[in-house]
A and B are shown apart, each in its own frame.
Chain A
């Protein structure tokens, strides 16, 4: 019960500071859109069907931009020994981890809710017929992304030049998650229902369950100094 309260308090704290500044959201959203524009000029997407490249583009943009957002959530704690403060006041590293990961997930979901319609517009496609299954697929895979990113962002905070280390770890460990996200997104967009995601939705959920539980256990050795 107490653990749940700590988790919610920490997630609430992060989200409040997120809402107050909105700088993080603006940066993530802006960066995701810039990635799309870069892709457009790299591959001249006017000639390519959205069904073949769209899901991949969306997820590369989300991965790149999302990593920036997750990193920022820990930079904030690093500035005034915030992590030590959280640890002293709660004494529960797993709860701190879960709170941060939930806040990271919520912030990314808000960014995605704004980003996906913009992406649909830019690629002249209509995502609305598959809105619900798409939302499920996006939430499931963003959760895994936040779970791993929160763990590695804490690691990156503790070392010099951690901003270089985070992408190295994050993108390598989330390779299977990206595969699953792209396949599941393509599947639901083609079918219009959640069944279109097939096995990939289960891959996403399995990834979430494994990494949330393992990262919650491994968070303590990361922040103990």
Chain B
């Protein structure tokens, strides 16, 4: 019954995601949630990408932070389980980052008039995406499992330390991103906030579920490899 909590988690994610999809697709989907969330006055329906774009971005940053911590954990303890968590988190982070990079231009084209205006946060996300694809590439180059874990941990740390420098450099380079939250932000309508928080919860829980499964899969791959090595060693 070990997977009962995971089934519950999946159920919660599914319910939240139905709500989020209704909010995103708005008037085109006849669900109670879509009527609940108002359509933005000037940008119209395309603003609803926000409920996908921003939670995906926040979750991918979180994923890379988890990979950073797991990388330190591996170098400190040399337990492969840490590396499995780092790998899982980077893979899911890259997935979410890809969603950000795809949804960003879809919104930017009608609102800013260009698919890719080299806007700071989108650019930061692009560099982030490249950094962690480099991480996944590095893993294919290494000679053995132990070296793979060590080298990945080094890059997992270096790449994450690069993120704030990239972020500020890109900001100072040029800036036009809408700031919704925090100082200088426009703020949002309460019902939009509800949709946003539901989306954030859905994305976060989805990340959690996927990382748990991916880590488990990576552990099984290690076990299969150990068994193979053991049987090769025991064979006459």
Contacts and interface: CB of A to CB of B under 8 A. Distances in A.
Interface of A: 148, 151, 155, 158-162, 164-165, 168-169, 172-173, 175-176, 179-180, 183, 199-200, 203, 206-207, 210-211, 214-215, 218, 221-222, 224-225
19 contacts: A155-B138, A165-B137, A165-B141, A172-B130, A173-B162, A175-B130, A176-B165, A176-B170, A179-B170, A183-B172, A203-B165, A203-B172, A207-B165, A214-B158, A215-B158, A218-B154, A221-B75, A221-B150, A222-B150
Contact of A176 (B137, B142, B147, B169): B169
B127 interface: yes
B76 to A, nearest CB: 10
Contacts of A214: 157-158, 161
Contacts of A210: 161, 165
Given A148-B158, A214-B161, 11 more contacts: A151-B154, A159-B143, A162-B141, A168-B134, A173-B159, A173-B162, A175-B127, A200-B172, A203-B169, A218-B154, A224-B150
Nearest to A144: B165
Given A155-B151, A168-B134, A160 B169 contact: no
A172 B137 CA distance: 12
A225 to B, nearest CB: 6
A155 to B, nearest CB: 6
A95 B225 CA distance: 36
Nearest to A203: B169
B200 interface: no
A180 B138 CA distance: 26
A172 B147 contact: no
B131 interface: yes
A155 B141 CA distance: 10
A179 B154 contact: no
Given A155-B154, A159-B141, A160-B141, A169 B134 contact: yes
A155 B130 CA distance: 19
Nearest to A200: B172
Chain B contact residues: over half helix, strand or loop, or mixed?
A: helix
A159 B142 contact: yes
3 closest A-B pairs by beta carbon, nearest first, are A176-B169, A176-B165, A159-B141
Interface string B152-189: 01110111011001101110110000000000000000
B142 A173 contact: no
Contacts of A148: 158
Interface string B121-139: 0000001001100100110
A189 to B, nearest CB: 18
A176 B166 contact: yes
A221 B148 CA distance: 11
A169 B138 contact: yes
Contacts of B155: 169
Contacts of B151: 155, 158-159, 222
A70 to B, nearest CB: 15
B137 A168 contact: yes
Contacts of B165: 176, 203, 206-207, 210
Contacts of B75: 218, 221
Contacts of A161: 141
B127 A172 contact: yes
